[in-house]
Structure 1
Amino acid sequence: MAKNQDNMREWNAEESGVFTAPKGTTLPVDSLEIPAEFVEVGWISDGGVEEGVEVESKETKAWQGGTIVKMRNTSTKKTHKFASLEDSPENTGLYYGHGKPTLVGETGAQIARVDMPKSIPTIEKTVIIKLVDNAGYTRLKCIENASLSERGTYVTNVEDDPVYEFTMTETGDSYWLTNEPAYIEAAA
């Protein structure tokens, strides 16, 4: 295969985003449309979505010369890290593990109450990461199950914008849907 600059992407168009839904929500299988059940986490910091793949492997060495004669993978971990810029029920629910806010107070002067759990529960979601290239191509990373594995420190000070930092670890199957010509050509 020859070099092709048309295959180089800039996945930062405004339509890009991270969308979550309750665990078990049906993902798209033949369309690049985001189903209505998915909620966008909103604006993501300029660091974008950082995808990590960690593969641990075991080497088998032969006595003769200490040569590696076999290697096998023993575990795989796929993560997606991003920082959301918005204070919203979706983001604080992911961060703190709280449920739906409730209205309290008298009619006309109601306020929202958000009850915080004593300890943060395991939070599992079905996730779509939508990447849109400035040339108009789209890639949906469809993740059947992802667990919130890490959270960054939420800071409110004079110098820094407050952000909710998340790392999601894939714990279920995943796949891509894309209209990128190279993948359509490879699938034909």
Structure 2
Amino acid sequence: MALRALGRQLRSLNVLPAVQPSRFFGASAHHDEDEEEHGPAQTPTVFDRLVEVTVVDMNGVLHKVRGLAGQSLAQALIEYGFPETYFFPNMGFYTQHIPDAHVYVPKDYWSKMPNIDPDSEEGGAVKRMFRDIVQDYQRDTSYFASYITLAPELNGMTVGIGGVKPWILHSDWAFGGVHDSKAKLFDRPTIDIWG
């Protein structure tokens, strides 16, 4: 009892040094800074990674589509449940069978879109998709959803789903890695070839 009373008296006089937990168990000296300066460590949650994009479908209806940062816009559109008719296979040599969609991106977000070298293999695939699939629905702000990676700076962006022409790909050509050969290149829109 006497020890407790003595302890209370000493604490009220502030004679005891303040205990710094970071000084024990081998903690390094840089942890001595005030916790108020940095605050407690917070573990990021899924909600911290959410990116919301407004999508205008082909009927003019607005949809709030949420995806995770790092995910492609095409994946977010598929998970949201847009109909299959909005999607087509990407024609890139290494990205075959990846669903893609034609979208219109506002000009104020255009600087945030990745640049694709038109002379690269991917650039060739993009040109083929515009020529064979998008055709005359192409605009200055046309882009492909699989090339747009969701990021916090795209939060709040509005995109429109762009139209595509109906097309038929011959089964021997259809994304088996042979569409880049000289014998299999399309020399005119596929709608004219098979229409």
TM-score normalised by L of structure 2: 0.21
Q: Identify the structure with the greater strand proportion.
A: 1
Bigger share in helix: 2
Which of 1 and 2 has greater Rg?
Answer: 2
